[in-house]
Structure 1
Amino acid sequence: MKTELRVAAYAVCVRDGEILLARWVTRDGRKLWTLPGGGMDHGELPVEALVREVEEETGYTAEPVALLGIDSIRRRDRTTRLGRPLDWQGLRIIYEARVTGGTLRNEDGGSTDLAAWHPLEAVPSLDRVELVDIGLQLRRDRPPVGHSHLYDPANG
């Protein structure tokens, strides 16, 4: 079975009771809200990936202010483009960040199609990936080892 590791950096940007989210378009066309961020390029530092990805997906310049934690997700039900079984793992580095400039806009031609601020109390009603909940939990609890209690050992 082929294995693949993807390392990515994400931002939890909260201001005035709202969180900045990007809407991810899945391979099958579903649209789910997620934290702005994404995969690191080879040789790129995680904080550089975070700044680049937030700008690409939202139009904003972001400044990382704290490392909240590192999350890992594993999917054994994926296949390669040739249809072979794939054991995929995503390592997600999650930062608290603040917007320091730019103008809100949507990504053009990327993996997301919309960027928006959402009231924190509205998050539970959004169609979203679990990373949003993990990021908010890490921001709220600030666990000393950067590990959310939302972690599922059977999945990771």
Structure 2
Amino acid sequence: MRARAVGILFNPHGEVLLMRRRKEGRVYATLPGGGIEPGETPAEACAREMLEEVNLVVEPLREVLTLENLGNREHYFLTRLVSGEMRLGDGPEGVRHSDENWYSPEWVALERLEDVNLVPADLRRLLPALLETE
């Protein structure tokens, strides 16, 4: 089983940061995150992945969920923005970005989550509750 760390970031307008994807003809959205490297804590991986994927320095505040998803153990962290300008980062996503395999970070209002093919789908219920506790 692969371990992953995922960041949950809300902006002051109550929108959540998602990574829109098109891969193998499928369009969907995820929260930014990726694999935990050897010697890295899940929180450290979360911060690194957010910088690599969406060019933002974040502070992981607390782990709010651990999920088994598609053979991965995923650690979800509520995060706070420290600095940066949101854009596709310079990590592997920026390098692999192409017409067939694209990545597009965007802020999505919680009311629009039903319109987004968010994976895993259970996050649609979790995210509004997390915004209330922030």
Which runs of 4 or more aligned residues in structure 1 lie more than 6 Å from their structure 2 counterparts after TM superposition?
Answer: none
CA RMSD of aligned residues (A): 2.3
For residues 48-127 of structure 1, the aligned pairs below 5 Å read: 48-74=44-70, 89-107=71-89, 108-110=94-96, 113-127=103-117
Q: Rg bigger for which structure?
A: 1
Q: Deviations over 1:69-97 (max 9, x none)?
A: 211124xxxxxxxxxxxxxx110001100
**1:30 and 1:116, CA in 2 relative to 1: closer, same or farther beyond 3 A?**
same
CA distance in 2, matches of 1:43, 1:134: 32
Gaps (5+ residues) in structure 2?
none
Contact 2:110/2:128 (CA < 8 Å) preserved in 1? no
Contact 2:69/2:120 (CA < 8 Å) preserved in 1? no
Identify the structure with the greater helix proportion.
Answer: 2
Aligned residue in 2 for 1:37:
33
Q: CA deviation at 1:99?
A: 1.2
CA distance in 2, matches of 1:42, 1:106: 25
Count of residue pairs brought into register by the alignment: 123
Q: CA deviation at 1:137?
A: 6.4
Q: CA deviation at 1:8?
A: 0.3
**1:134 and 1:51, CA in 2 relative to 1: closer, same or farther beyond 3 A?**
farther
Q: CA deviation at 1:100?
A: 1.1
Residue type of the alignment partner of 1:91? R
TM-score (norm 1): 0.69
Gaps (5+ residues) in structure 1?
75-88, 143-156
Residue type of the alignment partner of 1:114? S
TM-score (norm 2): 0.79
Q: CA deviation at 1:31?
A: 2.6
CA distance in 2, matches of 1:60, 1:44: 19
Give the % identical residues: 28
